[in-house]
Structure 1
Amino acid sequence: MTQPIRAAVKTDIETSVIREFERPRIGLDDGLLRVESSGVGGSDPEMYRRANTAPCIMGHEVVGTVEELGEAAAKRWGLRPGDRIALHEYLPCWHCHWCLQGDFRLCMEADFFNVKDRFNTLRYGTCNAGIAPHLWGGFAEHLYLAPNAVIHRIPADMDARHATLAVPLGNGVQWAVLDGGAGMGKTVLVFGPGQQGLGCVLAAKAAGSAFVILAGMTRDRARLDLSLDLGADLAVDVQEENLYAAVMAATGGRGVDVVVDTTGDPDGSIAAQAVALSAKGAWLSLNGLEASVPLGEIKKRYLTVRAPRGHSWRAVQTALDIVASRRWPVDKLCSHDFGLEGVHDAILATAGRGTEGAIHVTVSPGAEPA
């Protein structure tokens, strides 16, 4: 008999229990990953406190070593047992219009804005653990490698916790650079110093942006300070400083070329600020579902407005390349590490509860609570 696989399962609102699962039988087209580490995403605390999302093995920023692999899967992915990989959370169909042109984020089977039942739609870290073979999340000793998984190989010597930054830093690459246009000579403003916002700062600077500004609140002081190590040229506490004055002083009154909101803009105020702080021809990546922007100002300033929507393969691979370059102190982002028994505390830490100074929190099977 094979040894059962342990996983931390969300069983109720903000409740996590260690359970055991049978090791799945691997066929020609799939595989099994031994999880080394899995990051706690910025959306995980919201998922954890939401009703009607249990049972679920959470964890969608997954890094590990391929332990078992079917023959067809090995050929399709170019992998063999012993290889180390990082995963996307998406499990796209690979045959629709969007998948065939490389934008699997918009696949009807992967896009949360289109699926009718998110909990029963297969996606790493958010779906029903009752769906066989059950191991759909990274907060477990092993994870099932589905035939439609999106995979990146990582170097043998890359720190697993650093590699879990692939998704949040990949979001930064996507939102600030690939979608936002940050690059050589550009001035960039990022709202929100969470792991996504810090990822945008690092990505923008790594792409050659001339001046990067991060805006946060007084409670974010430690993260604002950290951003200066990750490439930010100016970190503004909006509760202590006038953001408009700070941005205009830094840009000679012209405004910024790129704005990225990572906060979700709960009251709609950031959308208005983004327009007011933009230079002519700027690109805005706005995140508020209920926010609105004045079309007249957009026309007058010749602005491009879009919304951040996940990450592409290119974005995540670029993020992994940034990590592998060792040019940036990404270790400072990886603040706390927990074992499976500490999943509850790890998710709360990401929400700013119970653990001081948490930035990017990881869950590594066998690790002691931070």
Structure 2
Amino acid sequence: MSSVSGIPTKMKGVVCYAPGDYRMEALDVPAVGPEEVLVRVTAVGICAGDAKCYAGAPLFWGDKDREPYCQPPIVPGHEFIGEVVALGPGAAEKFSLELGDQAIAESIAPCWRCRYCTRGTYHMCMPHDIYGFHQRTPGAMAGYMKYISDSIVHKVPKSVPPYQAAFIEPLACAIHAVERGEIQFRDVVVVSGCGPLGLGMVAAAKQKSPATLIALDLFDWKLEVAKKCGADVILNPGKCDVIAEVKKMTDGYGCDVYIEASGSPVSVKQGLHMITNPLPPKGYGTTFNFSLPPACT
């Protein structure tokens, strides 16, 4: 094992005990074993999932239809970056790391044994140990955290500031969503919600060269950022009927791909009504009009 000098034995960290019950406590700095990495946390993000967990969402705390996902007491935080300060036996070789490197672990630590891991779709891993929620994978809202041996760890260039490197995880989620959308050249694509993930989706979708990329949000200032990320058209659902406008722009067909990034049930329903269906619309034609409708100017 190799480590830098001066690693403390104690650290401060946030511990989740229950909805609304998050406490700052003195914790032991994790000890590393074979093929494990200890990092000094340099940046950590707060995901919408963290906020929902804090608020008591059934997805994390369970209800009559599901088991709880969160396993308290647990240190939260799954959007992170850290500086390597200790390497367990074999870790340097396994992850191609040296002390002092900036490194990130993917938020899911696969089991490598379940049906999905053995098929190569480790993001569907059945135990689904995400840092910050399960006892096997304490998170980053502390001075130090450990990347366990089953983790997928990446070295990040030091030219990337920590506050930007912490955005790697949500950006990866955004890119994954766009990849699953299978966007084609002639597609009309709508991204609903222009928060950090939605903007990442806009930027990623632009790289697919769709015919038209439309961004939706209730805040005009977010829509202006979406334009900088590549949106061709921006629409505010609070100011116009976006379903009608998208259908006007597409000769009644609707969009080909709808990516929901707002977290709102209304947006989900909106997408179901906006997306095209295999039945031809009344009075359908052979050309599209992608000009911005007057109602939204």
Quick check: TM above 0.5?
yes
Partner of residue 99 from structure 2, selected from 42, 61, 81: 81
Deviation at 1:275, TM superposition (A): 4.2
| Residues 29 and 145 in structure 2, CA contact (< 8 A), matched pair in contact too | no
1:1-370 pair list within 5 angstroms: 2-50=8-56, 54-110=72-128, 122-128=129-135, 136-176=138-178, 178-182=179-183, 184-217=185-218, 220-266=219-265, 270-271=268-269, 273-279=270-276, 297=277, 300=279
Deviation at 1:264, TM superposition (A): 4.0
Deviation at 1:253, TM superposition (A): 4.3
Q: Which moved more, 1:149-158 or 1:246-255?
A: 246-255
| Residues 39 and 61 in structure 1, CA contact (< 8 A), matched pair in contact too | yes
3-state SS of paired residue (1:227):
helix
Deviation at 1:184, TM superposition (A): 4.0
Deviation at 1:189, TM superposition (A): 0.3
Q: Which has the larger radius of gyration?
A: 2
Q: Deviations over 1:247-271 (max 9, x none)?
A: 134445443221111234525x734
The CA distance in 1 between the partners of 2:160 and 2:171, in whole Å, is 15
| Residues 95 and 154 in structure 2, CA contact (< 8 A), matched pair in contact too | no
Deviation at 1:202, TM superposition (A): 1.4
The CA distance in 1 between the partners of 2:203 and 2:100, in whole Å, is 31
1:159/1:19 CA distance change after superposition, 3 Å: same
Q: Give ranges in structure 1 of 5+ residues lacking alignment.
A: 111-121, 280-296, 302-370
The CA distance in 1 between the partners of 2:151 and 2:254, in whole Å, is 41
Letter in 2 for 1:198: L
Q: Which residue of 2 aligns with 1:329?
A: none
| Residues 91 and 109 in structure 1, CA contact (< 8 A), matched pair in contact too | no
Letter in 1 for 2:110: P
Report how many residues are paired: 262
Letter in 2 for 1:41: C
Deviation at 1:57, TM superposition (A): 1.3
| Residues 3 and 23 in structure 1, CA contact (< 8 A), matched pair in contact too | yes
The CA distance in 2 between the partners of 1:13 and 1:233, in whole Å, is 41
Q: Deviations over 1:110-154 (max 9, x none)?
A: 1xxxxxxxxxxx4311134xx7xxx71111111111111122221
Letter in 1 for 2:158: A
| Identity score, percent | 26
- TM-score (normalizing by structure 2): 0.78
| Residues 105 and 147 in structure 2, CA contact (< 8 A), matched pair in contact too | no
The CA distance in 1 between the partners of 2:151 and 2:134, in whole Å, is 14
Q: Give ranges in structure 2 of 5+ residues lacking alignment.
A: 1-6, 62-69, 281-297
Q: Deviations over 1:192-248 (max 9, x none)?
A: 22222222111111333342111222xx33222221121112221112112123213
The CA distance in 1 between the partners of 2:23 and 2:104, in whole Å, is 25
Letter in 2 for 1:63: I
Letter in 2 for 1:146: I
- TM-score (normalizing by structure 1): 0.64
The CA distance in 2 between the partners of 1:18 and 1:274, in whole Å, is 41
Deviation at 1:32, TM superposition (A): 0.5
> Cα RMSD between the aligned structures?
2.5
